Structure 1
Amino acid sequence: MHRIVEFVGCTLIEGTGREPMENATLRIVDGRVAAVWQGPERPGDQREPANETLQMQGKTVMPGLIDAHCHISYGEGKTAEEVDVYGGAEWSAVRAVWNAQKVLQSGVTTFCDPGSTWNVAVTCRDAVNNGMFAGPRIFAAGRHIAADGGFADYFPTWLGMPVSAEGVLCPTAHEMRREVRRQVKNRVDLIKISGDSQAQDTRQDVGPCFSDEEMSCIVATAHDLGRKVTIHSRYAKTVAAAARAGVDWVIHASYMDTADIGLLLDKQIPICPTLTYTANIVQHGRDVGVDPNYIETKRRELDSLVETQRKAMESGIPLMAGSEAGFAVTPYGQWHARELELMVELLGMTPLQAITAGTHINAKAFGWDHEVGSLRPGRWADLLVLDGDPVSDIHVLGDPGRISAVYKGGVAVQRTMPMPSRRRMGHERSLTVSSMPLNR
């Protein structure tokens, strides 16, 4: 016995960039899209009556959002110590599945976690897939593969990198290959490279923390084992090296040399700029205690990021949409749709282009476009029902009051908005030795 649900009379956004369909019917059979048609005339092969018919006049139906950059293990930390050291594996995992509910209720039905402390993202994914907890579909990475002096190598050399950290130090090509194999054994979907070197923070003319041979070693090993690869790469030489190595997408590309756009374009390597994280630090960083000097650094980065991504978009490089949710400045469930708003406001995308970035293009980068990211037949019926038209006003997606319903696999998501707040525990925060000023 099939379970058939029909959404009738809606404005339907497919997700692939096609213009919205007015007076549309969406037919769902056993949780997947079976057919879409316009007007009252029913296709001849869709005669079996529906178990449930939902009248959607005045509503917009579109694919659920996909956030390509959401760190579910980070717990909205303010410091590297909070993210990498405090909390513990058990607490981080429980906290992650709790936060995943907030992400789903906000309209994000799939996300990629490109870098996790412990193996929390994989654990959260499996708990959701097993029906133990409500949450989005998760495309999960493990710890960033890092080299000495690289972006994720935050702590002093004498301390090393804790086993809890978001990164794992791999000093040789042998260790890099072994770490990829270890992560695949531990069921990751994605390998994350921490590509930038700390030297690039002061000299952008220097290179990444990996040689071309080392980076190619990581990518080739991951691809041989059937896994995608992404890379943290703000600086120009890291982006170019990543393109030569054949990564599946690059993250940030804030200072990419426009002369290297052709490298990504030739291979159709997408960019996930994560405008939201940088813009939120600039606009809201003071509210969560961000150092004013760092805010100014991020202000300069945002200017470069906008200029670079406009040129990338105009050249034809696909842009992905990711918020970098998981930090104090990007809390779960609140900012996921803002990436689409910023793509419209700062990059000059049309709302429909931004919606496509936040649905189909993200799904295609993951290799999941035959399962999610559009409302084409055969895909999971992961969708949003909206009071309003996001093609006319992209801000509709970020307004919880305009989200009438969220469906995952054709089943309505229980939305208790807002979710209850939780108290941050002492063991998940950096320790304050003294709050007294030094000069007394």
Structure 2
Amino acid sequence: MGIMVVGRKEREPFALEHARVATGNEDGEVWQDTTVVVGSDGRIEQIAPSAQAYVPAGYHRIDASGKVVAPGLINAHTHLFADGKPLKAGGQTSPRQEQMALALIHGPVGQAYAAARARASVKTLLNSGVTTIRSLGDAGYEAVHLREKIDADEMVGPRILASGPMLSIPGGHGAPYIALTSTNPQEARVNARINLEHGANALKVAATGGVTDAKELGVAGTPQMDEASMEAVCEEAHEMGVIVAAHAQSAAGVLAALKAGVDTIEHGAPLSEEMIDLFLHNPKALRGYSGLNSTLSAGLPLVKISQEELGISDVVRANSELVADGMVQGAKDGREAGISEGMGTDTAMTFVTQYNTWRELDLMVRYAGFTPAQAFHAATQVNAKNLGLDDVTGSIALGKDADLLVLDGDPAVDVHFLADPKLVIARGWPVWRPKVKHFADIDRLLDTF
């Protein structure tokens, strides 16, 4: 895996010279023979035609001739607790088994494992070209702790928005292993405060049931947290300037979450005119609108690959079939309606590896009608805007953090170039020779549909 500098006091300033620059604009604009200069603070301090650029003495000069420099990817829906191999879920557990599992997960051994697993996941995401993540549901606050280390330059990693455990209902999606539960708006508000007090800078609610942890057919998409409770969470978060995501896999769930004021819908469903209007103009959302992350990577493999090869239960397979088509249709509806559609993969779920973020863009192109330029735009500039980070990342601009990729070709023409970045730069810290461990069997099956 690529070299990651740890504990350095100061970044080395550098210049990427003679590059083509893929801007991430929706039209796929490219700047020819351009030099990008990055200062010791990790920010972009100059962008100019190479013939006119001034590179100060002492800056590391990198010849990027024949390469494309692009904004780093933003993955708006990740989890850090697994690597994407099939999850054993969808079965019944006894109360005793559940209590034993909870004691293990939240005990010293489980916490140590979660921290190590999270660190490995973050490292893989970075080496695959993801320079910003939003983690939306983990066992504890391991993503918060990693964010603090990265922000303090104790380790190199992606910028992190960390939700901590998701907010659900008893027996609901994510509960009890990666969720805090509530039965009314007051309890939901308290749980939101608990996460915020632990340092969460994002929150997530479960508006409906999910696929992976459903124990019965029909759970996926069934409304769970009520609108009033979700609104209480949004009020607490928005008061702190924190955005809220909602897991929602049915029309009823999406509509209730939008009415409550959530800032992004995760997964989605076919969109009605009422939903579209709320996406475009949501008075209760933090910034007056709501975004969508369709996470096709989490839905399509579960219905396109044989159940035997996936290693999933009958319940998981059946629930997947209930919601997957709706996620694809929602992605199409969102694109056609001009809503702010970003990109997230739902990493850690079955067959959603930490290194395959580029595949989500490929699915957006092949299944939802995006052009490669539109998909790359969603994964950079749109995600930055939706997450409230567009003043620091998402594009290559003066004063913004140097979150950059060096690629063999233009991802706005062919997103496959994102599968193998030659250099990854996160806030001015370079990751030389980035490498990830591939799961050949999973990649082979993902290539079949």
Tell me the TM-score normalised to structure 1 length: 0.83
Among candidates 182, 200, 203, match of residue 194 of structure 2: 182
Question: Secondary structure in 2 aligned to 1:128?
Answer: helix
Q: Once the 2 structures are TM-superposed, how far is the Cα of residue 241 of structure 1 from its aligned partner?
A: 1.4
Among candidates 248, 256, 261, match of residue 276 of structure 2: 261
Asked if residue 15 in structure 1 is aligned to residue 33 in structure 2, the reply is no
Q: Once the 2 structures are TM-superposed, how far is the Cα of residue 278 of structure 1 from its aligned partner?
A: 0.9
What is residue 6 of structure 2 aligned with on the other side?
Answer: none
State the distance in 2 between where 1:415 and 1:128 align.
20
Give the aligned CA root-mean-square deviation in angstroms: 2.8
Give the partner amino acid of 2:382: I
Asked if residue 248 in structure 1 is aligned to residue 270 in structure 2, the reply is no
State the distance in 2 between where 1:392 and 1:222 align.
38
Count of aligned residue pairs for this structure pair: 403
State the distance in 1 between where 2:217 and 2:257 align.
18
Equivalent pair of 2:170/2:183 in contact (CA under 8 Å):
yes
State the distance in 2 between where 1:203 and 1:2 align.
49
Asked if residue 24 in structure 1 is aligned to residue 46 in structure 2, the reply is no
Unaligned 5+ segments in structure 1 are 154-160, 422-440
Unaligned 5+ segments in structure 2 are 1-9, 283-288, 440-449
Give the partner amino acid of 1:150: G
Question: Secondary structure in 2 aligned to 1:145?
Answer: strand
**Distance of aligned partners of 1:20 and 1:196 in 2 relative to their CA distance in 1, 3 Å threshold:** same
What is residue 286 of structure 2 aligned with on the other side?
Answer: none
Asked if residue 125 in structure 1 is aligned to residue 140 in structure 2, the reply is no
Stretch deviating more after TM superposition (237-246 or 128-137): 128-137
Asked if residue 289 in structure 1 is aligned to residue 328 in structure 2, the reply is no
Question: Secondary structure in 2 aligned to 1:94?
Answer: helix
**Distance of aligned partners of 1:289 and 1:367 in 2 relative to their CA distance in 1, 3 Å threshold:** same
Equivalent pair of 2:127/2:436 in contact (CA under 8 Å):
no
Give the partner amino acid of 1:324: D
Question: Secondary structure in 1 aligned to 2:267?
Answer: strand
What is residue 171 of structure 1 aligned with on the other side?
Answer: 183
Q: Deviations over 1:153-202 (max 9, x none)?
A: 4xxxxxxx3xxx21111122221111111111100001111111589974
Give the partner amino acid of 1:189: N
Asked if residue 214 in structure 1 is aligned to residue 232 in structure 2, the reply is no
Stretch deviating more after TM superposition (5-14 or 122-131): 122-131
State the distance in 2 between where 1:382 and 1:97 align.
19
What is residue 376 of structure 2 aligned with on the other side?
Answer: 355
State the distance in 1 between where 2:326 and 2:132 align.
29
State the distance in 2 between where 1:196 and 1:168 align.
15
**Distance of aligned partners of 1:22 and 1:243 in 2 relative to their CA distance in 1, 3 Å threshold:** same
Give the partner amino acid of 1:5: F
State the distance in 1 between where 2:73 and 2:203 align.
23
Q: Once the 2 structures are TM-superposed, how far is the Cα of residue 124 of structure 1 from its aligned partner?
A: 2.4
**Distance of aligned partners of 1:137 and 1:353 in 2 relative to their CA distance in 1, 3 Å threshold:** same
**Distance of aligned partners of 1:306 and 1:14 in 2 relative to their CA distance in 1, 3 Å threshold:** same
Once the two structures are superposed, the pairs formed by residues 407-426 of structure 1 within 5 Å of their partners are 407-415=425-433, 417-419=435-437
Question: Secondary structure in 2 aligned to 1:91?
Answer: helix
Equivalent pair of 2:37/2:44 in contact (CA under 8 Å):
yes
**Distance of aligned partners of 1:133 and 1:39 in 2 relative to their CA distance in 1, 3 Å threshold:** closer
Question: Secondary structure in 2 aligned to 1:341?
Answer: helix
Q: Once the 2 structures are TM-superposed, how far is the Cα of residue 49 of structure 1 from its aligned partner?
A: 4.4
Identity %: 27
**Distance of aligned partners of 1:7 and 1:47 in 2 relative to their CA distance in 1, 3 Å threshold:** closer
Once the two structures are superposed, the pairs formed by residues 61-100 of structure 1 within 5 Å of their partners are 61-76=69-84, 78-80=87-89, 85=102, 87=105, 88-100=110-122
Once the two structures are superposed, the pairs formed by residues 41-60 of structure 1 within 5 Å of their partners are 41-42=52-53, 46=54, 48-49=56-57, 51-60=59-68
What is residue 352 of structure 2 aligned with on the other side?
Answer: 330
State the distance in 2 between where 1:207 and 1:366 align.
27
Question: Secondary structure in 1 aligned to 2:316?
Answer: helix
What is residue 236 of structure 1 aligned with on the other side?
Answer: 251
Q: Deviations over 1:205-239 (max 9, x none)?
A: x9732333222111111111222111111111111
